[in-house]
Structures are given as structure tokens and as C-alpha cells.
């Protein structure tokens, strides 16, 4: 897209995967590479936005022109996203946020004792997307979630859109060498009005641009330039 249609807008993107500490050296994590979130940040910069990129454990070069806020855990990501979202026109939660974290972080490295293996008790993490959607700092803010599903993707996606209360949800077909850790992605974007927009398999930058097209559409025709 050549149009600088995000000029004057502040957008927040979360990327990567959170790590939930078990002890000083171990964590529960996931396979998110951060590529889709970084592509969203880079394309938003290219379209003229001020971009805050809340980045969890990503081994990629920072996109030029984006304000990168590094975080580790879901709780840290919540703080950073809510703070950045206060004056944002749009928030895109592309990060894979752990639904659960260990209830305690051991002070020292967990050791073998010769006895039975330790039990890990999990507690639920805050749902950042749901919380933000419920308590929008601005009524006109556009909030986008992601849903990685292996089966019945669109049906689960519709349900997730309702439960989280966001405006758009990007439903990823994961598996078979697509999505996590790969340069390509494909998705169906669902909105609150029952519309489904298919984005065919292609580079994550292409999917990112299509997502921004839909965000721009929802932001309305009021130009900030």
C-alpha cells in the first residue's frame, strides 16, 4: 500500500510469546516467533503510524521507526499494553500470551530430590485482549485479536470474538508448516457484523497490510492528516 492512511494515528502491536517463570532459569513458553507482529509493526510504520511494539522474547531485528517495549511475561505484557493503549487509535494483539502461569516462581533452581517429581500448579493469567476490549480507554478505539486454531477455525473464531469483545479477530489456520515460525500465513478475519474476509496464504507482510486495511476502514473516514 502506498497510501499513508495511518498518518497521525498511534497503534499498539503486541508480538512474540510470553514466558512464565518456573525458577530463575526455567519457564513455560510457546513457539511464537513474533514474525506476524513485527510485520504488523513494520507495515504500520510504512503507512505513517506512530507504532508502539510490545515485544515478548522475539529474536528479530526491531522494525525501523517503531517504539519497542520489551517484556517477558503475560503480567508484564498487560502493564505495557494497557499503558500504551491509553491514547491509541488501534491495538492489535498478535502475541501468543500464556493463558496460565506457575503459581510461584521458585527462588532457586528447582532440583532433583530423589523423591517424586515436583508438581507445577498453574494459575490463570489476565486476558489482556478481553480486559482492554471491556474497558476501552477510547470508544472509537479499534481492537484486534488473533486466534490460532487447528480445527473448526471459523466457528471457534466467532466464539472468541464474542467472548473477548474485540472488533476484529484474525483466525489463523495453524499446523502443516503454516503460521508459527514460518514466513507465510493465511487467515480469515471476522468482524462484529458477521463479515468474514479471507486472506490467502502469503507473506506475513501481506496479511499485515490486509489487517491494517480493515482497521483503517473501521477507524472511519475521518482523516488525521
Residue 17 found at the interface with ligand C5P (CB under 6 A) = no
Q: Pick out residues in 136-175 that bind ligand C5P (CB under 6 A).
A: 145-147
204 is in an annotated binding site: no
Cβ neighbours, 10 Å, residue 119: 5
Smaller CB separation from ligand C5P, 147 or 214: 147
C-alpha span between 77 and 70 (Å, rounded): 9
Smaller CB separation from ligand C5P, 126 or 165: 126
Nearest distance, CB of residue 223 and ligand C5P, angstroms: 28
Burial 12-40 (b: 16+ CB within 10 A, else e): bbbbbbbbbbbeeeebbbbebbbbbbbbb
Rule CB under 6 A: choose which of 55, 125, 173, 185 binds ligand C5P: 125
Q: Pick out residues in 86-115 that bind ligand C5P (CB under 6 A).
A: 93, 95, 97, 99
30 an active-site residue? yes
Nearest distance, CB of residue 109 and ligand C5P, angstroms: 27
20-21 vs 27-28, strand pairing mode:
antiparallel
C-alpha span between 101 and 10 (Å, rounded): 31
Residues with catalytic roles: 30
Amino acid at each position: 500500500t502506498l497510501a499513508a492512511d495511518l498518518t497521525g494515528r498511534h497503534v499498539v502491536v503486541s508480538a512474540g510469546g510470553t514466558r512464565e517463570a518456573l525458577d530463575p532459569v526455567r519457564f513455560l513458553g510457546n513457539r511464537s516467533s513474533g514474525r506476524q507482529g513485527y510485520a504488523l509493526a513494520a507495515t504500520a510504520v510504512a503507512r505513517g503510524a506512530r507504532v508502539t511494539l510490545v515485544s515478548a522474547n522475539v529474536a528479530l531485528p526491531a522494525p525501523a521507526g517503531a517504539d519497542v517495549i520489551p517484556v517477558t511475561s503475560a503480567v508484564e505484557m498487560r502493564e505495557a499494553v494497557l499503558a500504551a493503549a491509553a491514547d491509541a487509535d488501534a491495538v492489535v494483539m498478535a502475541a501468543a500470551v500464556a493463558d496460565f502461569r506457575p503459581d510461584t516462581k521458585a527462588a532457586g533452581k528447582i532440583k532433583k530430590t530423589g523423591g517424586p517429581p515436583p508438581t507445577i500448579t498453574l494459575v490463570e493469567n489476565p486476558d489482556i485482549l478481553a480486559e482492554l476490549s471491556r474497558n476501552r480507554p477510547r470508544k472509537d478505539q479499534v481492537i484486534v485479536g488473533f486466534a490460532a486454531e487447528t480445527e473448526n477455525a471459523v466457528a471457534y473464531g466467532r466464539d472468541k470474538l464474542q467472548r473477548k469483545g474485540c472488533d476484529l479477530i484474525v483466525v489463523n489456520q495453524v499446523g502443516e508448516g503454516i503460521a508459527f515460525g514460518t514466513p507465510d500465513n493465511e487467515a480469515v478475519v471476522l468482524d462484529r457484523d458477521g463479515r468474514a474476509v479471507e486472506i490467502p496464504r502469503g507473506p506475513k507482510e501481506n496479511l499485515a497490510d490486509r489487517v491494517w486495511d480493515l482497521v483503517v476502514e473501521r477507524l472511519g473516514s475521518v482523516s488525521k492528516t
